[in-house]
Chains A and B, each alone.
Chain A
Amino acid sequence: MINIQSLTFNYQHNIPLFSGFDLSISRGETWSVLGPSGCGKTTLLYLLAGLRQPTSGQISIDSEVLTRPRPHSGLILQDYGLLPWSTVYENVELGIRVRDFYGPDGKHTPDNYLPKDNIDHWLSRLGLSEVVDKFPSQISGGQRQRTAIARTLALEPDLLLMDEPFSSLDAITREDLQNLTLSLCAEQNLTLVIVTHAIEEAAALGKKILLLDAAPNQNTRVFDNPNAGQKNHRGSQAYHDLCDLLWKEMQIPSPQPSPEGRGGTQ
């Protein structure tokens, strides 16, 4: 589904975050992107969202080169990105209103777009029915993130991109939303790419874990985590072993991947 080829990206006058970087993600997979601060995790997500353009190389999704935000991709940010002047209902409806605003032009809105009336469904599915008339400032952090998720899912995306979406939430709400995200991805057959700085979260959510190093990232280090999302995965030995491994990998600065102790390379 996603194909990153020879990606190089740098902000002006800075060293490249990515240099000749390759990655391939299949439809329906759940990926965690992990790495130290400043390694380019969020930048990678923004590149996948079409909000940044590669300096060189290319990213294609479903064989189409990405040059702008794609109507079938949904992006969820750490600070929710909710409009403070709109109610929960209006925020969930926002993506639909944007699409209605443009109509099916194939650029901002899919060519085959038909106006939808699925807001109530997603409000109910995300447990927001009681707070539809509240403003973001009146609801909890967990409810805000649920609102952001409902807004994205109302557009029926096939790719969900999440940038540290649960980092500002308490432990119980975080785990609750992590589980909800996984079940929604399975339900809707979504491809998930979630950026996180928390090793435990990466190991809990991603069936594949991409570990980025300090810039520039050239090699792709991917760890397989096939049991992610399964019941009791967080209590399993495999989960703890993977967390330990990721801890070690992140603590040892290593620009060149070594063959031992890694989950594999692509």
Chain B
Amino acid sequence: MKRRDVLLAALGLVIVWQITAMIVHRPILPAPWDVFVVFFKELGNGLLIHFSVSLWRVLAGMLISVLVAAPLGLAIGGSKTMNRFLSPIIYLLYPIPKVVFVPVVLLFLGIGDTAKITLIFLILFFQIVVLVRDQAVGIPPQLIQSLQSLGAGRRALFRFIYLPASLPAILTALRQSIGTAVAVLYISELFATKYGLGYYIYYQGSTLFNYPAMYAGVVAMSLLGLGMYFGVDWLERKWCKWKFVS
């Protein structure tokens, strides 16, 4: 994704937004310029703190997901026995929309960050497990035999083949899950918290009816997702250079 393309897309959205705001002409849909003015004003007025809290929750959820799901995906993909026993369980649980667990998780884990991070973890976990497992299963046997002939046992195979081979899958899973993770973050921040963009958007829109500030929160959430997309792209360019050579 090129920066110029992103800027052009943003410009197109702003134009559509402006036209729609002019047509609707109601306080509930303020013009982009009004929102941007409020956005920068609100940054020093607490929005930055809400942004930081949401960012921390998403990053923590992502990190824990990678640390738990990637080794599990590798283990399942690298072992026929584990694949046979665990894949059916993964297939049963994977399609369940994790949003349905919001009340359950909040009930069991209560207020604080743990519940919110757990929800993000639940979404990313299955994506990463499945993609990493598929990647591990798809490694050509010749590559494995070639390394075995160099003396590699199971540990070295994981270190030199399975782990680097799974990196693109982990990053793809993260990229695919960012949208859902941010959406679930919003829902989870509606409850039992006073910090986070979800809380900020809901509070400004539904309690204070301060629509420009509400949209400023939406813009911040969009920037959060965009920043994470860019972050994953950056990591991919740094760690998976071989995918970008011609």
Contact = CB atoms under 8 A, between A and B. Distances in A.
A139 to B, nearest CB: 11
B145 A99 contact: no
A69 B245 CA distance: 34
Interface of A: 46, 49, 51, 69, 71, 73-75, 77, 79-86, 94-95, 97-99, 101-102, 107-109, 134-135, 137-138, 148, 151-152, 155, 161
A83 to B, nearest CB: 7
A30 B241 CA distance: 40
A28 to B, nearest CB: 21
Interface in B135-160: 140, 142-143, 145-153, 155-156, 159-160
A84 B151 contact: no
Contacts of B156: 98, 101-102, 108
Contact of B145 (A77, A85, A86): A77
A167 B140 CA distance: 19
Nearest to B239: A85
Given A83-B164, A94-B160, A97-B160, A77 B242 contact: no
Given A98-B156, A135-B245, A137-B242, A81 B151 contact: no
Given A85-B165, A94-B160, A151 B142 contact: no
A51 to B, nearest CB: 5
Interface string B179-201: 00000000000000000000000
A46 B144 CA distance: 13
Interface string B115-150: 000000000000000000000000010110111111
24 contacts: A51-B145, A51-B149, A69-B148, A69-B151, A71-B151, A77-B145, A80-B146, A82-B146, A85-B164, A85-B167, A85-B240, A85-B242, A86-B164, A94-B150, A98-B147, A98-B151, A98-B156, A98-B160, A101-B155, A101-B156, A102-B153, A108-B151, A135-B242, A161-B149
A98 B150 contact: yes
Interface in B189-246: 240-242, 245-246
A108 B153 contact: yes
Contacts of A108: 151-153, 156
B161 interface: yes
Contacts of B246: 138
Contacts of A98: 147, 150-152, 156, 160
List 9 tightest A-B contacts by C-beta distance, closest first: A81-B146, A75-B149, A95-B150, A108-B151, A135-B242, A85-B242, A98-B152, A85-B164, A98-B156
Contacts of A134: 245
Contact of A84 (B145, B150, B159, B242): B242
A80 B146 CA distance: 8
Interface of B: 140, 142-143, 145-153, 155-156, 159-161, 164-165, 167, 240-242, 245-246
Interface-centre pick from B145, B146, B242, B245 (highest chain A CB count, 10 A): B146
Contacts of B145: 46, 49, 51, 75, 77, 81
Nearest to A97: B160
Nearest to B244: A135
Given A83-B160, A102-B156, A151 B240 contact: no
A71 B156 CA distance: 14
A160 to B, nearest CB: 11
Contacts of A99: 151
User: Which among A51, A85, A152 has the greatest number of chain B C-beta atoms within 10 A?
Assistant: A85
Nearest to A154: B150
Nearest to A138: B245
B240 A69 contact: no
A86 B145 CA distance: 17
A92 to B, nearest CB: 11
Nearest to B151: A108
Contacts of B149: 49, 51, 69, 73-75, 161
Given A108-B153, A137-B242, A137-B245, A77 B146 contact: yes
Nearest to A46: B145
Which of the listed residues B140, B145, B147 has the most CB atoms from chain A within 10 Å of its own CB? B145
A101 B164 contact: no
